[in-house]
Structure 1
Amino acid sequence: MKKNLICFFLLAGLLFPFSVLSQLVYHEGSSFPVYGKSRESTFGRYTRLPGSVADFARRPVWDLGLHSAGLAVRFRSNSTTISVRWTNTFCNSMNHMAPTGVRGLDLYAWVDGGWRFVNCARPGSGKTTESRIVSDMVPEEREYMLYLPLYDGIDSLSIGVDSCAMIGAPRLSYPVREHPIVFYGTSILQGGCSSRPGMAHTNILSRRLNREAINLGFSGNGQLDYEIAHLMAEVDAGVFVLDFVPNVTVEQIETKLLPFYRILRDRHPDTPIVFVEDPVFPHTFFDVQAAASVRRLNAALAEHYRRLRESGERNIYYVSSEDMLGDDGEATVDGIHFTDLGMMRYADLLYPVLRRVLK
């Protein structure tokens, strides 16, 4: 009888995947480190701005700061299955961006010295979703990075693994957290319109450079707000990337850029600061007024950069947008916001610059 039971369990193990024989147990996301925050004490665990900013920030900036763009939860596990259960703050949707990018999640694993996409978690119709990201894996310990939504927030998050599997804090300090890349900008920088969180160019660059990235993109509101500059200045950054031009006027560049810059430079006299031009959007091929606006904005930015250089400012860099999106017109959803192809091309443009300045 005993021998028959042993044979039965051995046969069951061959016929049924380990994940089928094991129930899932969920673990609170608060047990694991969150990457991509400018400071640990933000308004909520999965938000980007500290509560103190609420007293000074414009309302749209504060509301967008509740989005979890650029944030990622790091953990390790030997589970054969990874599942997630999460509640979105707003249950947002947009007519030009995939729900997986707006309010879904994205899982990567560290494999052979780099981050490899595993799968995404598709959001449901309501605020709370439970989604199995991957199953039937070999039960070996792996390091994971779970990207959070780009255009929604997270009120609660838990990670499900096999009941007999381990899950814990990461052993590897990857991406490297010392001297992160701090990005400031617009809807494109926030992640619009990536098909999933991991394809936002800030996240692509973070993986390529193996360096933590802080995403301070505010859709339609990258307008050189000084309270955001002060928040950025609190970070011991490896480089500051200023990519705000699509959201400002020439007048705002003239009046606000230098004070914004000085807030960063006075606190960080040697940290590289990168200025990025307004993209040459595909629709400007036909829209002559939009094309003229892009030229005026980029001319104003270039003039300020020239003045800074002539005044003796060092460790400042200028990135032209001429080759940002290619010349085929195929890198956006709506003539403005980037598809995954656009995000990849943008990352390709910035990568050599950031690699050079991140010494």
Structure 2
Amino acid sequence: MKQWYVTPLFLLFLLPGLAQVRFYDAVDFPLLGKINDSTETRYERLPASLKGISRQPVWELGKNTSGLALRFRTNSTSIAAKWKVLNDYSMNHMTATGIKGLDLYAWTNGKWQFVNSARPGGKSNQQTIISHMAAGEREYLLYLPLYDGVVGLQVGVDSTAFIGKPLLQLPSTQNPVVCYGTSITQGGCATRPGMSYTSILERKLNREVINLGFSGNGRLDYEIAELMARRTDAGLFILDFIPNVTLEEVQGRTATFIRKLRAHNPEIPILMVESIIFPHSLFDQQMFNTVTDKNKALRKEYELLRKTDRNIYYLSAATLIGTDGEPTVDGIHLTDLGFLRFSDALQQVVRRIIR
């Protein structure tokens, strides 16, 4: 009686999807977007030293990976990812891909070009992001989730392909832009991680942008100012906190927050940004009055600070998202259209400040 033996090569022929992708732990590749590396785990935004010091909501939001991005290069014709998220959050006004998915860009023709996103299915995920690409080595940028944490990440490439650290030092990590703010800064409600305004700005400037947006909690916490102040290599501080603070907090905390920023950074430019005029406030008069009163108060704070600090700049809400009322999902949080408009307006001012 004849016996048949299945060799590994024959098995590979029969099952073309098997053993064609090899996964590599992402810890081997550089990560953009961290204020420093002293975090409890790799994939989070606040240093361990703030545990028990920051308000609990701020600390927990610091474990969201908004603005963090992996850099690598490979000659693979396909790219996959395995990732596990911390909480498996869901919201009724934001896509799962934006909350807990991944977003891949490639450097081509002198710019970062969107490749595809990895859509999540739960806490543990595995997705082929792109396949059937022409052979050739490319550099990639992989954005992590906006509103969830990551507890494990692997990048998959063809089993015969090379994967390694990037050769291009882009986006540049020299003199990063550090953004502090609210849910809008964090990325609510972009459809995918690469469409938050900080991520768009990072690609447009080709410079690292550090996202310190805390949903509902951009409330001028002084320890965050002190944390930012320790980045004495920053090229610019952007402050976009108005939607989360009261009128009294604008008047009582803004100057102190900025003084703490200035403790080690007397020359680093600071850009103060008004709140967008929420489209639904055209009808909700209470909301309109609240936002405009806080913007006016911020302007007064700026004018007082500007008398003694010529490196403080101001961006009014007039041109941030347009006037057609279309760029939000709920009257407040931005869609991709809103984030594109916001980043375009921001970029014009930023380029004038940090030429």
Match of 2:140 among 102, 125, 144: 144
Q: Provide Cα deviations, 1:277-315, integer angstroms capped at 9, x if missing partner.
A: 0110101100000000011101110000111122x2111
Cα distance in 2, alignment partners of residues 43 and 355 from structure 1: 34
Deviation at 1:20, TM superposition (A): 6.3
Which position in structure 2 is the counterpart of 1:170? 166
Deviation at 1:139, TM superposition (A): 1.7
Cα distance in 2, alignment partners of residues 83 and 332 from structure 1: 31
More off after superposition, 228-237 vs 21-30: 21-30
Cα distance in 2, alignment partners of residues 177 and 261 from structure 1: 24
Q: Cα RMSD over matched residues?
A: 1.2
Which position in structure 1 is the counterpart of 2:52? 55
1:22 and 1:164 in contact (8 A); partners too: no
Whether 2:254 is the aligned partner of 1:257: answer: yes
Alignment of 1:311-350 (within 5 A): 312-350=308-346
Cα distance in 1, alignment partners of residues 228 and 137 from structure 2: 36
Alignment of 1:44-193 (within 5 A): 44-124=41-121, 126-193=122-189
Q: Secondary structure at the match of 1:290?
A: helix
Which position in structure 2 is the counterpart of 1:42? 39
Q: State the one-letter code of the partner of 1:190.
A: Q
**Structure 1, gaps ≥5 residues long:** 1-15
Which position in structure 1 is the counterpart of 2:305? 308
Q: Secondary structure at the match of 1:42?
A: coil
Cα distance in 2, alignment partners of residues 240 and 149 from structure 1: 23
Q: State the one-letter code of the partner of 1:221.
A: N
Q: State the one-letter code of the partner of 1:144.
A: Y
Which position in structure 2 is the counterpart of 1:205? 201
Cα distance in 2, alignment partners of residues 43 and 299 from structure 1: 39
Which position in structure 1 is the counterpart of 2:224? 228
Q: State the one-letter code of the partner of 1:314.
A: R
Deviation at 1:21, TM superposition (A): 9.2
More off after superposition, 35-44 vs 332-341: 35-44
Q: Please report the TM-score for the alignment, with normalisation by the length of structure 2.
A: 0.94
Deviation at 1:41, TM superposition (A): 2.1
Q: Secondary structure at the match of 1:221?
A: coil
From the superposition, tell whether residues 20 and 129 of structure 1 become closer, same or farther in structure 2 (CA, over 3 Å).
Answer: closer
Q: Secondary structure at the match of 2:319?
A: coil
Q: State the one-letter code of the partner of 1:174.
A: L
Cα distance in 2, alignment partners of residues 200 and 75 from structure 1: 21
Q: Secondary structure at the match of 1:174?
A: coil
Cα distance in 2, alignment partners of residues 272 and 43 from structure 1: 30
Whether 2:237 is the aligned partner of 1:240: answer: yes
Q: Provide Cα deviations, 1:142-170, integer angstroms capped at 9, x if missing partner.
A: 00000000000000000000110000000
Cα distance in 1, alignment partners of residues 75 and 134 from structure 2: 8
Cα distance in 2, alignment partners of residues 357 and 139 from structure 1: 41
Which position in structure 1 is the counterpart of 2:4? none
Cα distance in 1, alignment partners of residues 213 and 321 from structure 2: 19
Cα distance in 2, alignment partners of residues 49 and 21 from structure 1: 39
Q: State the one-letter code of the partner of 1:114.
A: K
Which position in structure 1 is the counterpart of 2:8? none
1:174 and 1:210 in contact (8 A); partners too: yes
Cα distance in 2, alignment partners of residues 293 and 21 from structure 1: 59
Deviation at 1:264, TM superposition (A): 1.0
Percent of aligned pairs sharing the same letter:
54
Q: Secondary structure at the match of 1:83?
A: strand
Whether 2:268 is the aligned partner of 1:271: answer: yes
Deviation at 1:266, TM superposition (A): 2.3
Q: State the one-letter code of the partner of 1:202.
A: T
Cα distance in 1, alignment partners of residues 19 and 161 from structure 2: 9
Q: Secondary structure at the match of 2:281?
A: helix
Q: Secondary structure at the match of 1:44?
A: coil
Q: State the one-letter code of the partner of 1:146.
A: L
Q: Secondary structure at the match of 1:266?
A: coil
Cα distance in 2, alignment partners of residues 250 and 199 from structure 1: 30
Moved beyond 6 Å, runs of 4+: 19-22
